[in-house]
């Protein structure tokens, strides 16, 4: 069985995001870029499944320009067998990304597709669900535990009221949550080995996937600064201040 894992290049989660002065986008000049943390968890789970003897090959896929090859090489260094870059200079919306993934699925015929539940840059949390609908296969989102058996998967999902356990037939799409696992640390010898692993580049045009234009971002803005708090003398002043602000 093949496992296909989608990864995305994002601003590292430790970096403070800054908006460009003209509001046209996020300042990435000299900023550290990394694999989306949820996608790292997805890849780690795929590698553990392979190490348990339940899969033969793990393939990482990313959609973007040549700069995303750095993150694909990171995926190879973690242990993936092959990497595929769907090359495009455009910033695609989730539906177009899902369509591109579907074309790769049709070529590779994986038994399982694992994605992060969301990317930390846009927080859409849509690609996995759209991909499952386009592929017409079952889906399990927000997975905190994944167990494979013959032709099916048991998934523990994190939902608003706690945990939910479901069983789905394979092939399927699974999106993962933070508590599923802790990704492994990439060592220098693995980074060197990753340079010799295959990385295929597929132009987006070759997949016959058009970039959707139903949504356009007109401006970026940082969050408003929080107002400073005030010190009160006693409980009566606190109650009065809350009344003044219409909170009680």
Gap between the Cα atoms of 220 and 200, Å rounded: 34
Q: Helix, strand, or coil here: 147?
A: strand
pLDDT for the residue numbered 87: 94
Whether the upstream peptide bond of residue 218 has omega within 30° of 0, thus cis, is: no
Band of the pLDDT at 213, cuts 50, 70, 90?
low
pLDDT tens per residue across span 87-121: 998 888 899 999 999 999 999 999 999 999 999 98
Tokens representing 60?
Answer: 């990482």
**CB–CB of 128/102 below 8 Å?**
no
In the beta sheet, which residues pair with residue 149?
A: 152
pLDDT tens per residue across span 41-97: 999 999 999 999 999 999 999 999 999 999 999 999 999 999 999 999 888 889 999
Residue owning tokens 């399990």: 140
Please provide the average confidence, as pLDDT, over all residues in the chain: 92
Gap between the Cα atoms of 139 and 169, Å rounded: 9
> Where do runs of H (alpha helix) occur along 1-126?
37-51, 69-78, 94-108
- Domains of the chain: which residue ranges? 2-219
**CB–CB of 174/207 below 8 Å?**
no
pLDDT for the residue numbered 211: 64
CATH 3.40.50.620 fits 2-219, yes or no: yes
Tokens representing 78?
Answer: 């973690």
Higher pLDDT pick, 247 / 36: 36
Q: Is the pLDDT score of 215 beyond 80?
A: no
What is the 3-state secondary structure of 95-143?
HHHHHHHHHHHHHHCCCEEEEECCCCCCCCCCHHHHHHHHHCCCEEEEE
Higher pLDDT pick, 231 / 143: 143
pLDDT for the residue numbered 161: 86
Band of the pLDDT at 208, cuts 50, 70, 90?
confident
Q: What percent of the chain has pLDDT over 70?
A: 98
């Amino acid at each position: 069985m093949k496992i296909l894992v989608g990864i995305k290049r994002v601003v590292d989660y430790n970096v403070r995001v800054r908006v460009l002065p003209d509001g046209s986008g996020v300042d990435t000049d000299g900023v550290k870029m990394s694999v989306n943390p949820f996608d790292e968890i997805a890849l780690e789970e795929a590698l553990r499944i392979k190490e348990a003897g339940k899969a033969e090959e793990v393939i990482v896929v990313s959609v973007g320009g040549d700069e995303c090859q750095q993150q694909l090489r990171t995926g190879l260094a973690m242990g993936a067998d092959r990497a595929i870059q769907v090359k495009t200079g455009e910033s695609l919306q989730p539906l177009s990304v899902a369509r591109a993934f579907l074309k790769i699925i049709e070529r590779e015929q994986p038994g399982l597709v694992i994605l992060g539940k969301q990317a930390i840059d846009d927080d859409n949390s849509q690609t996995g669900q759209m991909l499952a609908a386009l592929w017409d296969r079952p889906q399990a989102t927000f997975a905190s535990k994944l167990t494979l058996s013959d032709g099916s998967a048991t998934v523990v999902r994190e939902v608003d009221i706690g945990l939910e356990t479901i069983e789905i037939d394979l092939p399927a799409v699974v999106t993962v949550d933070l508590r599923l696992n802790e990704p492994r640390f990439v060592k220098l010898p693995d980074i060197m080995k990753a340079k010799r692993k295959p990385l295929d580049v597929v132009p987006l045009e070759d997949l016959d996937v058009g970039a959707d234009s139903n949504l356009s971002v007109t401006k970026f803005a940082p969050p408003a600064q929080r107002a400073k708090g005030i010190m009160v003398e006693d409980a009566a002043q606190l109650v009065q201040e809350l009344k003044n602000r219409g909170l009680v």
